[in-house]
């Protein structure tokens, strides 16, 4: 992850250890993953064995880990880091290359 945005210069790490709080957001995403995978397994596959739940949830979690990591960090940065999206920011400005 770069230290700052190449377009606007926003620091991606406002202070050391800033993203430790994103672990809680990641945890919430993973709990949601367990429910979004476990409930359909229960209803559509007739409550399979426990190992089916464990393997399926593990595979889905591993596949979505990069996405969850980036979204939890982005949410942490928006909620607590002071970053705000402004769609009009680039109008009239030259984007550095």
Residue 71 belongs to a domain: yes
Task: Report the distance separating Cα 15 and Cα 77, nearest Å.
Answer: 11
Two tokens at 1?
A: 């992850």
Residue 35 belongs to a domain: no
**Model confidence, pTM:** 0.71
Does residue 51 register a pLDDT over 90?
yes
Total domains in the fold of the chain: 1
Q: What is the pLDDT of residue 93?
A: 55
Give the domain range for residue 69.
46-81
Two tokens at 11?
A: 């620091």
Residue 27 belongs to a domain: no
Q: What is the pLDDT of residue 63?
A: 96
Adjacent-strand bridge partners of 4: 11
Does residue 31 register a pLDDT over 90?
yes
Terminal alpha carbon distance of the chain? 18
Residue 73 belongs to a domain: yes
The mean pLDDT of 19-45, rounded to a whole number, is 92
Q: What is the pLDDT of residue 21?
A: 86
Task: Report the distance separating Cα 18 and Cα 76, nearest Å.
Answer: 9
For residue 7, the Cα-to-chain-centroid distance in whole angstroms is: 21
Residue 1 belongs to a domain: no
Residue 61 belongs to a domain: yes
Q: What is the pLDDT of residue 24?
A: 93
């Amino acid at each position: 992850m770069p230290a700052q945005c190449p377009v606007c210069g926003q620091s991606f790490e406002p202070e050391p250890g800033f993203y430790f709080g994103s672990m809680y957001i990641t945890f919430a995403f993973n709990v949601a993953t367990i429910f979004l995978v476990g409930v359909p397994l229960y209803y559509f596959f007739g409550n399979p064995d426990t190992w089916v739940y464990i393997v399926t949830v593990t595979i889905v979690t591993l596949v979505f880990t990069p996405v969850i990591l980036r979204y939890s960090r982005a949410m942490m940065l928006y909620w607590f880091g002071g970053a705000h999206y402004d769609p009009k920011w680039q109008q009239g400005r030259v984007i550095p290359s």
